[in-house]
A and B are shown apart, each in its own frame.
Chain A
Amino acid sequence: MGLRWKKRLMDEGEINRAVNRMAHEIIERSASLKDVVLVGVHTRGIPLAEHLSKLIHHYEGLEVPVGKLDITLYRDDLTEIGVQPIVRRTEVPVDIHGRELVLCDDVIYTGRTVRAALDALMDLGRPSLIRLAVLVDRGHRELPIQADYVGRAIQTSRSEVIKVHFHSTDGEEGVDLLESES
């Protein structure tokens, strides 16, 4: 099964504007900005978290710590799958106890990744609250989970695939819509 490119949904400028807005929303909604920790989910949640952190520093002059979270060990399909996901290191530089976490990921789809990420975060400590930031919400949730900060909501069909590119992971920036060819 191959993937066919359909169209570019967001270019670099659109991503920047969306992330900019999300940064403002985070600043606005947090009770205490200095308690905020941005946690990016491997792989493309991390550049989003870093981008947000940079913007918050730009607007508020405050260093918001960024953590990296690998959710592989928390996936709910490990006993069934036929391929072996590579486990990466989880690095959260601060004690998350009592902190306001903003979990960052590129795309929200079924919600299963977020479910795994929430379990992973709980194992690291007891934050005072957790909010969710995603660049793209493509719908089709299988669990009762919603994002608090959304870059853009896009209607998709299940046969379509959203591919997000960031400079640090892919060498360019943009969001593409692809279709799987069966």
Chain B
Amino acid sequence: MMEAVQIRHRHLLDLEDWSASEIESLWRTTDAMMEVMQRKVKKVPSLQGFTVATLFFENSTRTRLSFERAAKVQSAEVLNFAAGGSSLSKGESLKDTLRTIDAMQADLYIVRHVAAGTPYQLSRWTDASIVNAGDGRRAHPTQALLDGYTFRRCFEGFDGFRGKRLTIVGDVMHSRVARSNISLWTKLGAEVVLCGPRTLLPAELEQYSGVRRCFRLEEAIEGAHAVMALRMQRERMQGGLFPSLAEYQARYQVTTKMMERAHPHAIVMHPGPMNRDVEIEGVLADSERSVIEEQVAHGVPVRMAVLYSLLVGRGR
């Protein structure tokens, strides 16, 4: 068992510079937060006196709500700034936008943006902590943390990530969830198999050791301990990335039948929002193998642990 270590990051921009033991420590804090979320009165004073601001330049009600809940359960003040492109389309630079919001004196910003790297840019211009809530195709670290946490809790007989296999199916190219999960699972010693049409699986992702591509679903699922289906967006058809939903469903839909090839205890995950019967068979999503509901439930405690870890101990 790994020793719990102090988490000494000011920001959570992506998982690349987080060590395996820091992630394990964060998950232990998450265990404690799970207990809080199981209480009748879900409120602790741990972040009293801190102010957290959500800066969503790209809309996402569920992620924002999950973070907001995580902050409020810990008694933090929460400010919401839905940029939604409005002020930026008027020609305000990113830096000026931040300067305006900085006047509100938040201790931490939760940032979502369509462009990769924006949380990095912002972190250079403010003293506040930054949590990346999804930037372009790059990273969605809290999603990967909650996916990994879900596997840790829900995989029957869990004994660590080493030797486990995660299969991610779908539009990996545009997926920050996939990139963050690749980073997390390979760091912890698991293997990641990427599956989907060749147009959506960039070869360069094999630069991560422990990652391989596989273009046939039945091979990709063989022996997998966890299978994650990614949301398939219709817009991708216009870009010439795949021909039709029918063809996609026929070859890449994760089904109950297909799951028979996986490890007997294999779990099925989906980062949501789900297109039922497109990337995942509806029956499978409701089956015992599915941990999709648990993923959603783990969102808040994981984000509570992230906020706690970044805010407490930074001193004033």
A and B touch in the complex (CB under 8 A): yes
Q: Which residues of A contact B (CB under 8 A)?
A: 70, 72-75, 78-91, 119-120, 123-125
Given contacts A74-B46, A79-B49, contact A89 B316 (CB under 8 A): no
Known: A74-B45, A87-B29, A87-B305. 16 other contacts (CB 8 A): A72-B46, A73-B32, A73-B46, A73-B308, A75-B46, A78-B47, A78-B48, A79-B48, A80-B316, A83-B6, A84-B312, A86-B6, A87-B33, A88-B32, A89-B35, A123-B41
Contact (A84, B6) CB under 8 Å given A73-B36, A89-B32: yes
The answer to whether B6 touches A87, judged by C-beta atoms less than 8 angstroms apart, is no
- Known contacts A79-B316, A83-B6: does B32 contact A123 (CB below 8 Å)? no
Assembly CA distance A87 to B32 (angstroms): 7
User: Nearest chain B CB to A82's CB is how many angstroms away?
Assistant: 4
What 1/0 flags go to B299-316 for Cβ under 8 Å of A?
000000100110011111
Q: Are B315 and A82 in touch, CB under 8 angstroms? A: yes
Please tell me which one of the listed residues A78, A89, A90, A91 contacts residue B312 in the complex, with CB atoms under 8 A apart: A78
Contact A84 B46 (CB under 8 A): no
**Residues from chain B with Cβ under 8 Å of A79 in the complex:** 48-50, 316
A79-B50, A86-B29, A87-B32 are known contacts. Are A73 and B316 too (CB-CB below 8 A)?
no
Tell me if A80 and B45 are in contact (CB < 8 A). no
CA distance A83 to B45 in the complex (A): 18
Which residues of A lie under 8 Å from residue B31 when comparing CB positions?
89
User: CB within 8 Å of A: which of B1-52?
Assistant: 4, 6-7, 25, 28-29, 31-33, 35-36, 39-41, 43-50
| 20 contacts across the A-B interface (CB closer than 8 A) | A73-B32, A73-B36, A78-B46, A78-B48, A79-B49, A79-B50, A79-B316, A81-B315, A82-B315, A83-B6, A84-B6, A84-B309, A85-B312, A86-B6, A86-B29, A87-B33, A87-B308, A88-B28, A89-B35, A123-B41
Given the known interface contacts A78-B47, A83-B6, A84-B7, the answer about A70 and B316 at a Cβ–Cβ threshold of 8 Å is no
Q: Which listed residue (A70, A83, A88) contacts B313, Cβ 8 A? A: A83
CB distance from B71 to the nearest CB of A (A): 13
Task: Tell me the nearest residue of chain A to B4, going by C-beta.
Answer: A86
Q: How far is the CA of A45 from the CA of B40 in the complex (A)?
A: 25
Query: A74–B32 Cα gap in the complex (Å)?
Result: 13
- In the complex, the answer to whether A74 meets B44 with C-beta atoms within 8 Å is yes
Given A84-B6, A89-B31, A123:B312 Cβ within 8 A: no
A22 to nearest B CB, angstroms? 28
Q: Given the complex of chains A and B, what is the CA–CA distance between A125 and B40 in angstroms?
A: 8
B301 to chain A, nearest CB (A): 11
Of the candidates B32, B47, B314, which one forms a contact with A70 in the assembled complex, judged by CB atoms under 8 Å apart?
A: B32
Could you say which residues of chain B place their CB within 8 Å of the CB of A89?
28, 31-32, 35
* Bound-state Cα–Cα, A96 to B170, Å: 48
Residues of chain B within 8 A (CB-CB) of A70 are: 32
Residue of B nearest to A72 (CB): B46
Which chain B residues in 269-316 approach chain A with CB under 8 Å?
305, 308-309, 312-316
- CB contacts (< 8 Å) of B43 on chain A: these are 123
Instruction: Please measure, in the bound complex, the distance between the C-alpha atom of A34 and the C-alpha atom of B49, giving whole angstroms.
Output: 40
- Indicate if B132 sits at the interface (CB-CB under 8 A): no
User: Assuming the A-B contacts A79-B50, A80-B315, A80-B316, are A86 and B25 also in contact, with contact meaning beta carbons closer than 8 angstroms in the complex?
Assistant: yes
Residues of B within 8 A of A83 (CB): 6, 313
